[in-house]
Structures are given as structure tokens and as C-alpha cells.
Amino acid sequence: MPQSPRLEVRNLVKHYGATRVVDDVSLSIAPGQVTCLLGPSGCGKSTTLRMIAGVDMQDSGSIHVDGDLVCDTVFRIPPERRKIGLMFQDFALFPHLSVRDNVGFGLSGSSKEKLHRISTLLERVGLGHYLDAFPHELSGGEQQRVALVRALAPKPRIMLMDEPFSGLDNRLRDEIRDDTLSVLKEENASVLLVTHEPEEAMRMADEIALMREGRVVQSGAPYNIYNAPVDRKVVSFFSDINMLSGVIDGASVDTAFGQFFAPGFENGTKVEIVFRPQHVNIDFDRAGQGPNSTEIAGTPARAVVERARLLGSESLVEFMLCDAGTKIKAKVPNVFLPKPGTVLWLTVRRKRCFVFAQKAD
């Protein structure tokens, strides 16, 4: 039998003035699942989170936890009784309380039980020896871990996290993200994590709900969103893109890289073919002529190098297609820095190209 959702959000709507900042958002999170609410700044992620936490009230829609109504437009359980843990970027530890007291604040049970819970969680994040330290004696990363432990100590059924890692420097952030994820999984908490960073969502999420202008435009496993995006903006939210335009003619479309099979469109539909720079190959020996290679790579197209830059472990080369006058970016492993004006042949990985009907933006 399928597991019933721990958190279920149905058709949430919220206006500020005349603007509908959350527009019919529905989400369902299973016990132990991590869902990332991902989207650009201002698209309504935090507002959604605040309604689930109970600190903001929706205009319509409902929130259920373990099948029980927590809030709709008539009935409302106050935030402190929702058994929901909160963790925000600007988490504030009480400066005058020790780590033990910060974590134990508001925790119920006997002193012995509380101390056991506090010590176990602190040990788990490598801070067992800081029980009696004060916040100012800890680094930013250590304070972040204490904030996580504090949010988890009361065993919340749901954890809501709003950009919790964005105050940390890069190297520390990766480490704390991974640690946090494994503690959340061990605790079997259902997590809704807000982020505007695609890499963070890909790294943390079992499921991503991608938001744009108040709406969830696509949700699913990170692999599916990355590899089966619903439109060009979803592709470009995760990476740089290349784009070719064309017109459907008999279930295919002609481009500088040969014909693309594009079923499901009416004849004459204007389409865009979208692909990522890492899926452009430099065809040094015009390998497109070999057996099976056209199926994989299509027809090679001639292109002139405009600019090449080293990004670290890979190089970014910008081209202009000779025949079509379209710019193409290619990401190539290692150091590859051809001089501007060099003419090369390019292919694209067909299976990594997406065809969408052209839409006005």
C-alpha cells in the first residue's frame, strides 16, 4: 500500500495587495522524504513555507499533516502545536545560554531524558564536547549545527528549512549539507527545504518542486526534472543553454546539425531545440561519418571559435555556426583553448536535446 503523505498542501493561494504571490501550490511529502522548493528569488517559496509553519495565513487552500487538517481558511492550529521544526538562514541561538540549554530550550521530558537526547544529537554532528560552550565560542558552521540539533531535538514530524546553508562559505557548506541530510534521514523527518540554488536542490532532494511566479511548474525526482524538463526555462534554470530555432515539417525539423525527429507537433509549428553546452562535442576527425554515429550525434556543423576560457576542470568555448550564424557554447573537459578564428566541426548529443514549441516570454 502506498505510504500516506506526512505533509499535504492543497491549492494554497496567497495575495499581497493585488499580486498573487502563491498561486495554487500543491505539495505532498512522504515520511522521511526531502523535498526542495526551488526557484528564483521572489517566486513565492518562503511565503509557501511560512503558511505551512503557520506564521502566515493563506487566502485559500489547506494543509494536512498525517491526514489531519492543520489549517484551512476556517480552522487553524497555532504554529507551536503543529510539531513542525524550523530552520532559517538567520537562525539565532540564545547568546546567554550554553549549547546544552539552547538545544534543551522548550524540550519536554525528565532532565535525564533531555540530556540524553541533547547529547546524542550533538555527538551525531560532532559537537558532543561543546555541551557547556556558549555560542560565541563556536564557529559559524558549528553554530549552524547547533541550530539544526535544536530544531530536531523535539522530534518534529516535519522540518521546514529556508535557505539554511546560504550564510556558510562554499567548502563548509558542502560538508554541513551532507551531514544535515544524513541526520535528517536518520531522524526520518519529512523535510521541505527552500533554496534558489539548483545544485543544492540536486544534492539534497528526493523530489524537487520547481516554482516560477507563484506556481509549481514541474515536480519530480531531480533526475527527471534535469533530463525531462517541461520547458526551456526549466532547462535554463539548471544550466547555460544553447538554442536552435526551426519549423516542424513531417515530424522532424531541419537544423545546422541535421534533422531532429520531433513527433507530437503539428506541421508548421515553430520550435526551439535546446541543449546544454556540455552536450556539444568537438568533432576533431569528423567522426559523424562513422557507423551509428549520426544516430548519436547527427550531422556535424562547421563553426568558428569566438572565445575560449578555462573554467578550472573544463573549458568553455564560444562558437558562431558558419552557415546558420547562431552562437553555440561548448563545455569541453580539461584545457582546450583554441584561438579565435579557428574553424572546427561540432556535433550535439541527440538524446540530450529537448524540442519545445516556441513561446513568447
Residues that bind ligand ADP (CB under 6 A): 16, 21, 39, 41-47
Choice between 43 and 152, CB closer to ligand ADP:
43
Q: Which is nearer to ligand ADP, 42 or 340 (CB)?
A: 42
How near is the Cβ of 84 to ligand ADP at its closest, in Å?
Answer: 17
Cβ proximity to ligand ADP, 38 vs 71, nearer residue: 38
Q: Compute the Cα dihedral for 255, 259, 288, 355 and give only its sign.
A: positive
As a whole number of angstroms, the distance between CA 69 and CA 66 comes to 9
Compute the least distance from the CB of residue 21 to ligand ADP, in Å.
Answer: 4
Instruction: Report in angstroms how near the CB of residue 206 gets to ligand ADP at its nearest.
Output: 21
291: three-class secondary structure by DSSP: coil
Under 8 Å between Cβ of 195 and 36: yes
Specify the residue, 22 or 321, whose C-beta has the smaller distance to ligand ADP.
Answer: 22
CB closer to ligand ADP out of 56 and 72? 56
Whether the CB-CB separation of 281 and 266 falls below 8 Å is answered with: no
CB proximity list for 260: less than 8 A, separation 6 or greater: 246, 252, 253, 273, 298, 350, 353, 355
Extract the C-alpha cell encoding 158: 516535519
Residue 21 or 181 with smaller CB distance to ligand ADP: 21
Sheet holding 19-29, edge to edge: 19-29, 7-16, 60-65, 68-71
In the DSSP assignment, the letter for residue 276 is -
Q: Can you tell me the distance from the alpha carbon of 170 to that of 221, in angstroms, rounded to the nearest whole number?
A: 25
Give one DSSP letter per residue of 33-94, joined into a string. -EEEEE--TTSSHHHHHHHHHTSS--SEEEEEETTEEEE-SS-B--GGGS-EEEEETT----
Least Cβ distance, residue 39 to ligand ADP (angstroms): 6
Residue 72 CB, nearest approach to ligand ADP (Å)? 20
Sign of dihedral through CA atoms 143, 148, 151, 154? negative
Distances (CA, A) of 38 to 79, 199, 264, 267, 354: 24, 10, 29, 35, 21
- Give the span between the Cα atoms of 10 and 216, in whole angstroms: 12
Locate cell 533554496: which residue?
A: 195
**With respect to ligand ADP, which residue has the nearer C-beta, 214 or 298?**
214
What is the nearest approach in angstroms of ligand ADP to the Cβ of residue 22?
7
Q: How far apart are CA 67 and CA 36, in angstroms?
A: 21
Residue closer to ligand ADP (CB basis): 40 or 290: 40
Residue 129 region by backbone torsions, left for phi larger than 0, else alpha for psi between -120 and 50, else beta: alpha
Residue 221 CB contacts under 8 Å (≥ 6 apart), including other chains: 206, 207, 208
Q: Shortest approach of ligand ADP to residue 284 CB, angstroms? A: 44
- Give the nearer residue to ligand ADP in terms of CB position, either 16 or 94: 16
Supply the minimum distance, in Å, between the C-beta of residue 254 and ligand ADP. Answer: 40
* Shortest Cβ 107–ligand ADP spacing (Å): 29
Minimum distance, C-beta of residue 208 to ligand ADP, in the bound complex (Å) = 14
